[in-house]
Structure 1
Amino acid sequence: MTNELLRPIAERAAPPQVPPLPPESLGLSWRALTAADAPALAELCASIEAADDAPYRTTLDETLERFEGDWKQPALDTLAGFDAEGRMAAYAQVTTNPGDAGAVRVFLDGGVRPDARGRGVGRALVAWMDGRARQLLASSGKELPARLVVYLEDAHEGARALFAAAGFTPARYYTDMRRPLADLPTATPVEGVTVAPWTPELDDAVRRAHNEAFADHWGSEPLTVEAWALRSRTHAPSWSRVAVDDATGEVAGYLLSARYEQDWPVAGYTFGYTSVLGVRRPWRGRGIAVALLASAMAAYRQDGMEFARLGVDTANPSGAHGLYSSLGYEVDHGSVMYTIEI
């Protein structure tokens, strides 16, 4: 559907005047979160992730990032429930990406402490997030296709059923893949291209290359300088690589890695994580992606890592899933993007 055929976003989003607050009958008191709540929120997330057997753990630093970015409004876009003892029992947050240019999106995230489940808290949080997200869409001023988005692990059947009951449907499937580093793939040098370590001087060129490389990926939207900087906080510079065209000095491709040490005990092994890999269209088909992956894997192994891991959209138009499989990566677990299209 072309943008010209869309009804005004304020009409399509149908926002409530006030997002519905959870009822008093749930036995919790509710208020917005602030950065001062980060330690308690990190503790709550840890209890949720452990109970749900999530393949990751959220650190305090990652929790603090929820409150960073001048486009965020925690006073309006977060909600937390506290029990009679003052302990945080549930949370919800909705966020946007200021660079959205093809579709405007609001991302939903929340959770309920295991001992507070089974009485409707999760359902109430989803209703509040839906309402606040629709307000954000309506006030965005972007007359574009729009969607509400939530990412859920395959194994979290309860959460998937909760969002499905609220009108969300599966839109995209992702797999997390891993490869042992006992041996490394052979990468043929790419003529006219040098693969080198990432440097701060190259970072904005990498950001622009990323926005271009992912322009043809479903659901991908440009990242602003500030959004890129926030997203890149977890990246490991010594494990990240940039492919530079020797003749022009342009960034042809890039691979950014992350070091999630808090996840190693959960996984039962150490690993380097490839957060994002991209090759600009004029340089595709020359083996640059393989060269970047091989170089990053060598760096992981040099630092004693046992595995390389990454995540991939199963319908990635570049054929990335097949590429990773051919390099020895195997599926470890999966997740699903649920959306409401507006």
Structure 2
Amino acid sequence: MTAVAQPASWVPLGPEQSREIWSLIQTIEKHDGTAFRTSQAEVDSYFDSAYLWRASGVRTVFGELIAYGLSRMPRLHGDSVEIIMSGGVHPDYRSIGLGAGLVETQLATSEQLAQGEVRRATATMHVDSESADLMDLLERAGFVNTSSYIQMRRKLDDFVPNIEIPGFISIVELSSLTDDDIRRAHNEIYFELAGQGPMSPEQWTAERAFLMREWSFAALDRRGDRPRLAGYILSAKYDQEWADIGWSEGYIDEVAVHKEWRRMNLMTALLSSAMVAYRNDGVEYAGIDVSIDPQADNPFDRVRLFSDFEFEKTVQTFVMSRPIDLQPTAIQS
């Protein structure tokens, strides 16, 4: 551990410091051996106009950025909103209180973002299972583990597609539909499954910056006068990670099927179509984050589904959440 040259100072950060933040993130990820690597484009997206954001950091007297924290809230929201917190501290400057200071600052800025905008707000941070110190820090700040997801991976060299779906269903490339078709389907499915609020067109675009249309597909029900969207799979290409992790990987960002068409083997068909597309492009692995809901009757059902598809578990990430204290605002008559 290196002592911070005094006096270190807290400074506001923004898109002008994007490359500097990325450099710090690279140092943190390499030191911690994370299973992923953040790209410059991802850091740029932190400041996308689809979100309200606040960012701050710590500099030494020599100007080196040694910590950063960011809070983001979608501009389009209902009465309840989730504010995503992210951040990190340079490995040489840990265990001297900077992490606790960052969490405190991010909670304060999250409250500023939400105040007067919503009735309920929750601060959320995603923490790898190997980051015990950060988990402890958040728990001491009042965060609790509300859910988690497991990263899973499958080698593609021995993959043999086996798709059996009803004859009235067609699997087509994503280019056959508009982004708004898929966005509306996403909003309907995730509201039904989890009461999740809608994503705006701007937020959808920001979240899909790494979408690979050639690897993404939709399932269409051809019965009737007009085809109906039964499900879809969205794939991403995070090739900035490949050199560091040592292999190429097509990532399944999202796969979903409308309630009416479940139990028709559509999810398997969509997965197979994407994995064939990865392999045809010379990609070695397929990867996915599989969510775990501790409140569900069978929280590991989806993990078993992908295990049956020969995906293997790699690392687990916990979603840590805490309600944000908001002052009541006067109701306008």
Tell whether the structures are fold-level matches, with TM greater than 0.5. Answer: yes
Contact (CA 8 Å) 2:77, 2:198: kept in 1 or not? yes
What CA deviation, in whole Å up to 9, does each residue of 1:122-154 have, x standing for no partner? 1101001111112223221x334x321110111
Q: Write the distance in 2 (CA, Å) between the matches of 1:225 and 1:328.
A: 35
Q: 1:103 aligns with which of 74, 80, 84?
A: 80
Letter in 2 for 1:113: H
Q: What is the CA distance between 1:71 and its match in structure 2?
A: 3.8
- Work out whether 1:154 is the aligned partner of 2:129: yes
- Work out whether 1:214 is the aligned partner of 2:190: yes
Q: Write the distance in 1 (CA, Å) between the matches of 2:167 and 2:74.
A: 37
Q: Write the distance in 2 (CA, Å) between the matches of 1:220 and 1:206.
A: 16
Alignment match, 1:31: 11
Q: In 2 relative to 1, CA 163–25 (structure 1 residues): closer, same or farther, beyond 3 Å?
A: farther
Q: What is the CA distance between 1:201 and its match in structure 2?
A: 4.4
Tell me which moved more, 91-100 or 226-235: 91-100
Q: What is the CA distance between 1:102 and its match in structure 2?
A: 6.8
Letter in 1 for 2:317: S
Alignment match, 2:47: 67
Q: What is the CA distance between 1:267 and its match in structure 2?
A: 2.8
Letter in 2 for 1:90: A
Q: In 2 relative to 1, CA 241–249 (structure 1 residues): closer, same or farther, beyond 3 Å?
A: same
- Work out whether 1:178 is the aligned partner of 2:160: no
Q: Write the distance in 2 (CA, Å) between the matches of 1:233 and 1:226.
A: 11
Q: In 2 relative to 1, CA 306–86 (structure 1 residues): closer, same or farther, beyond 3 Å?
A: same
Letter in 2 for 1:245: D
- Work out whether 1:131 is the aligned partner of 2:111: no
**Aligned runs of 1:1-342 on 2, under 5 Å?**
27-73=7-53, 77-101=54-78, 103-140=80-117, 142-144=118-120, 146-181=121-156, 182-199=158-175, 201-218=177-194, 220-247=196-223, 248-315=226-293, 319-341=301-323
Q: What is the CA distance between 1:219 and its match in structure 2?
A: 7.0
Q: Write the distance in 1 (CA, Å) between the matches of 2:22 and 2:235.
A: 23
Q: Write the distance in 1 (CA, Å) between the matches of 2:171 and 2:218.
A: 6
SS in structure 2 of the partner of residue 183 of structure 1: coil
Contact (CA 8 Å) 1:185, 1:327: kept in 2 or not? no
Letter in 2 for 1:32: P
What CA deviation, in whole Å up to 9, does each residue of 1:93-129 have, x standing for no partner? 1111234437321111111111121210111010011
Tell me which moved more, 48-57 or 29-38: 29-38
Tell me which moved more, 188-197 or 106-115: 188-197
Contact (CA 8 Å) 2:6, 2:61: kept in 1 or not? no
SS in structure 2 of the partner of residue 252 of structure 1: strand
Aligned-pair identity in percent equals: 28
Contact (CA 8 Å) 1:190, 1:291: kept in 2 or not? no
Contact (CA 8 Å) 1:272, 1:300: kept in 2 or not? yes
Q: Which runs of 5+ in 2 are unaligned?
A: 325-333
SS in structure 1 of the partner of residue 191 of structure 2: coil
Contact (CA 8 Å) 1:79, 1:93: kept in 2 or not? yes
SS in structure 1 of the partner of residue 103 of structure 2: helix
Q: Write the distance in 2 (CA, Å) between the matches of 1:339 and 1:26.
A: 33
Letter in 2 for 1:118: S
Q: Which runs of 5+ in 1 are unaligned?
A: 1-23
Q: Write the distance in 2 (CA, Å) between the matches of 1:200 and 1:259.
A: 20
Q: Write the distance in 2 (CA, Å) between the matches of 1:211 and 1:273.
A: 21
Contact (CA 8 Å) 1:279, 1:288: kept in 2 or not? yes
Contact (CA 8 Å) 2:50, 2:206: kept in 1 or not? no
Contact (CA 8 Å) 1:198, 1:242: kept in 2 or not? yes
Q: Write the distance in 2 (CA, Å) between the matches of 1:203 and 1:111.
A: 34
Q: Write the distance in 1 (CA, Å) between the matches of 2:314 and 2:161.
A: 19
Q: Write the distance in 2 (CA, Å) between the matches of 1:322 and 1:298.
A: 21
Q: What is the CA distance between 1:330 and its match in structure 2?
A: 1.4
Q: Write the distance in 1 (CA, Å) between the matches of 2:310 and 2:321.
A: 32
Letter in 2 for 1:327: F
SS in structure 1 of the partner of residue 10 of structure 2: strand
Letter in 2 for 1:320: R
Letter in 1 for 2:42: E
Letter in 2 for 1:97: P
